[in-house]
Structure 1
Amino acid sequence: MRAYADNDYPADHKPDWKVIAGLWPYLAEFRGRVFLALGFLVISKLATVATPVALKYIVDYLDQNRGGELLLWIPVLLVVAYGLLRFGSTLFSELRDAVFARVAERAMRRVSLRVFEHLHNRELAFHLDRKTGGLARDIERGTNGISFLLRFTLFNIVPTLLEILMVAGILFVVFNVGYVLAILVAVVVYVVFSIKVTEWRTKFVREANARDNQSNSRAVDSLLNYETVKYFNNERFEAQLYDRDLEDWEQARLKNRLSLAALNSGQALIIGLAMIAIMAMAVREVASGEITLGDFTMINAYLLQLFIPLNALGFVYREIRQALVNVERLFGLLGDPPGIKDAPDARPLAVNDGEVCFSHIHFAYRPDRPILQDVDFSIPAGHTVAVVGASGAGKSTLARLLFRFFDVDKGAITIDGQDIREVTQDSLRAAIGVVPQDTVLFNDTLYRNLAYGRPEASEEEVYRAARMAHLEDFIHSLPDGYETRVGERGLKLSGGEKQRVAIARVILKNPPLLILDEATSSLDSLSEQAILGALKEVSQQRTTLVIAHRLSTVRDADAILVMDGGRIVESGHHNDLLARGGRYAHLWEQQHRSGDNSQLSQ
C-alpha cells in the first residue's frame, strides 16, 4: 500500500475494505472479551425485539377487557415485564460497551505505538518531504478511525442486521409475508441509496481532509517559525496564506455538508414512504378485524424500533467510509518500509579501536545532482579529522552518511573494518555522538533536555556534563535552575546556550566516535575557547570528525581535509596547508582579513 503525501491522495481513490480485516490482530489479543461482548450484544437484541411483544399483550388485554372485569395484576405484570425488557436491552448494551472498551482502547494504543516507532525508523528523506502538521492529523484521524471501525462494525452493523432478521421473522410468523416484503424492499432501497450516494460524496470527504491537513500544516509551520515571521514583519502575509488555505477548507467542507444534506433527505424520504405503506396495511387489517389493536401497536413499535437503527446504519456507513479513508492513510504510513533498514544478517557494531574509513564514496540526494565524488580518506583511531570548504561542498553530507541517515551510492564506509550497512543501525548510532549546527530542544525542562543524552544517567552525571559544557553558571543564574522550561524548540535559550546543551548531551552519552558539525558556530570568542577546551577533553581517545565553521577551531586537528565540488582537493596539517598556498591558505587569508575568523559557511 502506497503512503501518499499530505495533499496528494486521489479524490477518486476507493478505500480498501480489506483494511477492516487488518484490524483482527488488534482484536485477537482480547478474543475472550470480544466473544463476551458479542454475547451481551445478542442478549440485548433479544430483549429489544421482545419489548414490542410485551407491549402488544398489554394493549390487547386492556382493549379486550374494556368495560368488563379487569384483573389489575395481569397488566401490571405485563408492564413490569415490558420495563424489565427495556432495562435489559440497555443494561446488556452497556455491559457490551464496558467489556469491549479495553479492546478498542488497547487497539488504539497498539497502532499508535506502531506508527510512532515506524515513523522514527523512517529515513531522514521521508521526514524532509513531509509536513508535520498534516502527518499529526493523519495519525490522529487514523487512530480514531480504528476505534470507530472496531466499535461500529461489531456493534452497529451486525446488531442492526440481526434485528432486521429477527423482526422480519416475527412479522412473517405472526402476520403475513406482505409485511416482510415491504420491510425488505424498504431496507434494500435504503441500503442501495445510502451506498451509492455515500460513494459519490466520499470525494468531498477526502478533499475536506486534504484541505484540513493543508491549513493545519500551514499554521504549525508558521508558529514554529515565529521569530522569522517577526523578523520580516510578515504576520499579515502569513495570515493571508493561512486564510487562503482556510478558504479552500471552507469550500470543501461546504460541499461535504451539502452532499450530506442530500443523503439525509433521501434516506428520510425512503423511511417515510415505507412507514406510510406498512402502517396503511396494518390500519386496513385492524379495520377488517384481521389483527388486533395490540398487533397494530406491535407493528408500529417494530417499525420505529427498526428504522431508528436503520437510519443509524446510514450514518454508520458514511462514517465507516470516512474512517476507512483515515485508517487507510494510517496503514499506508505503516505499509512503506524504511528506505534505510538493517540487513537481514546485520550484527551489532563492535568498536575496538574506532578507525573510520570513507572508501571511494559517491553519493547524490538526486540522480541529477551529485554531491560527493570519489571521496576517499580515513580517520585513524583516536584522531581528529576536520573537513572545511565552501557552501555546498558536501561537508555535512559526510556526517549524515556516517550516521547512516542515507546510504552511499558507491563505495563503503567502515568502522574498524565493518561496513556500516552490515551492522545494526541501533548499535551504529549508539557508538556516535553528534553535536549539530542547529540544536533543537524539547519543550521541557533544562534537566530533561540534558539527560536526553542518556536518560538512565544519575543526577550527578548530568550535573557533571553540564559543568564540562560550561553551563553550570548559566543554569544557577536562572530562578528555576535545572527545572527551567526551555520553550518550543528551545526558543527561550540563546543559540550558544542551546549548543552547550548539545555538547553536554554528547558528554553524557560518552560515545567512542564523535561528529562535531560546526559545534561552536553560535558561540562568542570567549565562550568558544572554553567550549573548545571541553571538546578537546571529550575528543581525547575518541575518533572525531569535525565539520569546521571557523578555521581557527581546527588548526590543532590531526588532519584537515579541504572539499570543493564534492571532492577532497587538499589534505594535511594546518601549517603544511598554509605553506602550500592553495585553497586552504586562501580561505585562511580571507578569514584573517575579516578579523573574526568566522566567515567560512558550510
Structure 2
Amino acid sequence: RGVAVAWWTSIAGISAWVSAQLAFVAVLGVGGARVASGALEVSSLIAFLLYLFYLVAPIGQMVQGVTQMQNGLAAVKRIREIEELPAEEAAGAAGAVGTAPAGVSFEGVAFRYGDDRPVVHHDVSFTVPAGGMTALVGPSGAGKSTVFALLERFYEQQSGTISVDGRDIGQWPLGELRASLGYVEQDAPVLDGSLRENLVFAAPGVGEADIRRVLALTRLEDLVARLPEGLETKVGHRGIMLSGGERQRVAIARALLRRPRLLLLDEATSQLDAVNELRLREVIAEVARETTVLVIAHRLSTVTTADRIVVMEAGRVRAVGTHRELLDDDDLYRELAATQFLLPT
C-alpha cells in the first residue's frame, strides 16, 4: 500500500506539472497565431493567459489534496490491520503480589514463533531456584531471549509446562504474573526527564525511604550526589547526561522499586567497558541476595559467580552447573570461556 501511494504521488505531481506547462504552450501558440492573423486582440490573449495562471494553483491544491487522501486511506488501512491482529487477554489489576523470591521451572517446553517458522525450543527443561542468580549462556540463536518472552507470556509455548512458584503461568492472572517480574533489557531506556521521574516511572507511589534503599543497592548514591540538582536533575534525551553503566543501573533500580519476585536481565553488560561491567556485576550480586535473578549473558565474566549456569545450544539445554563444574564437564562452555580468556591458568 505504501508503494502504491508513493507511485500515485509521483505520477499525480508530474502529471499536474506537465499538464499545466502543455496548457500554457497551447494557449500561447494558438493565441499567438490568432493574434498574428488579426482574429484576436492581444489583450484577449493576455486575459486567457491570466486565467490559465489563476487555474494552476487550484489544480495543484486539488492534486495535493487527492494525494493526501491516498496517504490517509493507506494509514487507515494499516490501522485496521493492526486492530484486527489477535490480542492477548487484558492484564487487569495486579492485585496483591508477594515479595518473596520466586522459583521458575521449564519442563519439556517446545516453541516456534509460527507454524511456518523453525522450532526455537526443543524439549527445554531446567529449574531456577528461588533466590540467588541463575544465568543463561550459549551462542547467538540458542533460544535464550525466547525464555524471557515465554516467561512474560508474550508468546505461548506449543507444548510443555512453564511454572513460577510451582504454578503453571497459564493459571496466573496476567497482571499478577507481570507484576511479579522485573525486566531490564539490553538497551535500557532512560526517558527525557528527571532522575527521580525515571526511577519511579513504574512505581509512582513509592516512598523516599525505598528510593534511598534502591539507590544504595545499585551504587547510584555517588551519581545523585554529583548531579547539580540531585534526583531532580534532568538526564536529557535517552539519558544523555548518564554513562552507559549508570543508565543500566538506573534501569535496574527502576525495576527493583517495583519489588519484583523475579528480575530478568537481558545482556545487561553487553555495551559496557570493563570498569562499568565490574560495578554492574557487583550490583547484580547484591540484588541476588534479595530476589531471584535470571540473567542472559554473552560475557561469561558477568556470571562466573552465578549459583547456577544453564548452557543452551540450538534451542536445547545441554548442561547445567556452576562455572567450575561446566569448565570441567562441558565442551561448549569451555570453548566459550577460552574465547573470553576465562580458563584458569
Matched position secondary structure for 2:182: strand
5 Å-filtered alignment, 1:375-414, equals 375-414=124-163
Q: Which residue matches 2:107?
A: 359
Of 322, 337, 343, which aligns to 1:588?
Answer: 337
Cα distance in 2, alignment partners of residues 589 and 363 from structure 1: 31
Post-superposition offset of 1:398: 0.9
On the 8 A contact 1:382/1:541 being kept in 2, the answer is yes
Distance 1:453 1:594, change over 3 A: farther
Q: Say which SS state the counterpart of residue 592 (structure 1) adopts.
A: coil
Taking the aligned partners of 2:311 and 2:185, their CA distance within structure 1 comes to 20
C-alpha separation between the residues in 1 aligned to 2:103 and 2:111? Answer: 21
- Aligned-residue offset at 1:523: 3.4
The reply to whether residue 542 of structure 1 matches residue 291 of structure 2 is yes
Aligned mates of 1:455, 1:249 — CA distance in 2: 49
Following TM superposition, by how much is the alpha carbon of 1:255 offset from its aligned partner in structure 2, in angstroms? 7.6
**Separation in structure 2 between the aligned mates of residue 505 and residue 256 of structure 1, nearest angstrom:** 56
Question: How far is the alpha carbon of 1:556 from its aligned partner?
Answer: 2.4
Cα distance change on mapping 1:554 and 1:353 into 2, 3 Å:
closer
* 1:190-205 correspondence runs (5 A): none
Partner of 2:319: 570
Partner in structure 1 of residue 50 of structure 2: none
User: Structure 2 counterpart of 1:365, which letter?
Assistant: Y
What is the count of residue pairs matched by the alignment? 299
Structure 1 residue 331: deviation in Å?
4.9
Structure 2: tracts of 5 or more residues without a match: 21-65
* Per-residue Cα deviation, 1:464-500 (whole angstroms, up to 9, x for no partner): 3233222232233333443333333334433222111
Relative distance call for 1:256 and 1:450 in structure 2 (3 A) is: farther
- Is contact 1:499-1:522 (8 Å) kept? no
Contact persistence 1:518–1:547 (CA under 8 A): yes
Check the 8 A contact 2:245/2:277 in 1, yes or no: no
Q: What are the superposed Cα offsets for residues 528-585 of structure 1, whole Å, 9 maximum, x if unpaired?
A: 3333333223222523212123222222222111111111111112221122252212
CA–CA distance in structure 2, aligned partners of residues 364 and 546 of structure 1: 22
* Structure 1 residue 430 displacement after superposition: 0.6
Which structure carries more relative contact order (alpha carbon 8 Å, separation 6+)? 2
Compute the TM-score of the two structures, normalised by the length of structure 1. 0.44
Per the alignment, residue 471 of structure 1 pairs with 220
- Equivalent residues of 2:134, 2:293 under 8 A apart: yes
Contact 2:319 2:330 in 1 (8 A): no
**Equivalent position SS for 1:454:** coil
Q: How far apart are the structure 2 equivalents of 1:495 and 1:368?
A: 35
> In structure 2, do the counterparts of structure 1 residues 551 and 455 end up closer, same or farther at CA, with 3 Å as the change threshold?
same
Cα offset, 1:511, TM superposition: 0.7
Paired residue for 2:234, among 471, 485, 508? 485
* 1: CA distance, partners of 2:208 / 2:86: 39
Q: State how far apart, in whole Å, the 2-side matches of 1:360 and 1:464 are.
A: 39
Structure 1 match to 2:301: 552
The structure with the larger Rg is: 1
1:7 maps to 2
Q: Secondary structure at the match of 2:136?
A: strand
1:389 Cα deviation (Å)? 0.8
Say if 1:392 and 1:335 are closer, same or farther in 2 by CA, change over 3 A.
Answer: closer
Task: Please state whether the residue corresponding to 1:442 is helix, strand or coil.
Answer: coil
Q: 1:450 and 1:551, CA in 2 relative to 1: closer, same or farther beyond 3 A?
A: same
Q: How does the TM-score come out when normalised to structure 2?
A: 0.72
SS of alignment partner, residue 234 of structure 2: coil
- With over 3 angstroms needed to count, the CA separation of the structure-2 counterparts of 1:531 and 1:432, relative to structure 1, is same
What per-residue deviation string (whole Å, max 9, x for no partner) do you get for residues 207-245 of structure 1? Answer: 2xxx4xxxxxxxxxxxxxxxxxxxxxxxxxxxxxxxxxx
Letter in 2 for 1:399: F
CA distance in 2, matches of 1:514, 1:479: 31
Q: Which amino acid aligns with 1:389?
A: G
Structure 1: 5+ residue runs without aligned partners?
A: 1-5, 12-206, 212-247, 262-317, 596-602
Q: Residue 263 of structure 2: SS of its match in structure 1? A: strand
1:572 partner amino acid: G
Distance in 1 between residues matched to 2:124 and 2:215, nearest whole Å = 37
Identity of matched residues, %:
40
2:148 corresponds to which letter in structure 1? Answer: A
Q: Is the 8 A contact 2:217 2:286 kept in 1?
A: no
Distance of aligned partners of 1:348 and 1:362 in 2 relative to their CA distance in 1, 3 Å threshold: farther
* In 1, Cα distance between equivalents of 2:317 and 2:304: 18
Alignment CA distance shift 1:252-1:545 (3 Å)? farther
Match for 1:568: what amino acid? V
Residue deviations 1:165-212, cap 9 Å, x none? xxxxxxxxxxxxxxxxxxxxxxxxxxxxxxxxxxxxxxxxxx2xxx4x
Amino acid at match of 1:384: M
- Which residue of structure 2 aligns with residue 273 of structure 1? none
Q: Does 1:461 align with 2:210?
A: yes
Q: Higher strand proportion, which one?
A: 2
Distance change in 2, residues 1:252/1:445 (3 Å): farther
Residue 541 to residue 441, structure 1, CA distance change in 2 (3 Å): closer
Q: 1:522 aligns with which of 271, 288, 296?
A: 271
**Post-superposition shift, 1:386?**
1.1
The aligned residue for residue 440 of structure 1 is 189
Preserved contact between residue 133 and residue 285 of structure 2 (Cα < 8 Å): no
Structure with the largest fraction of helix? 1
State the match for 2:89 in structure 1.
341
Matches within 5 A, 1:265-276: none
Q: Distance in 2 between matches of 1:431 and 1:477?
A: 33
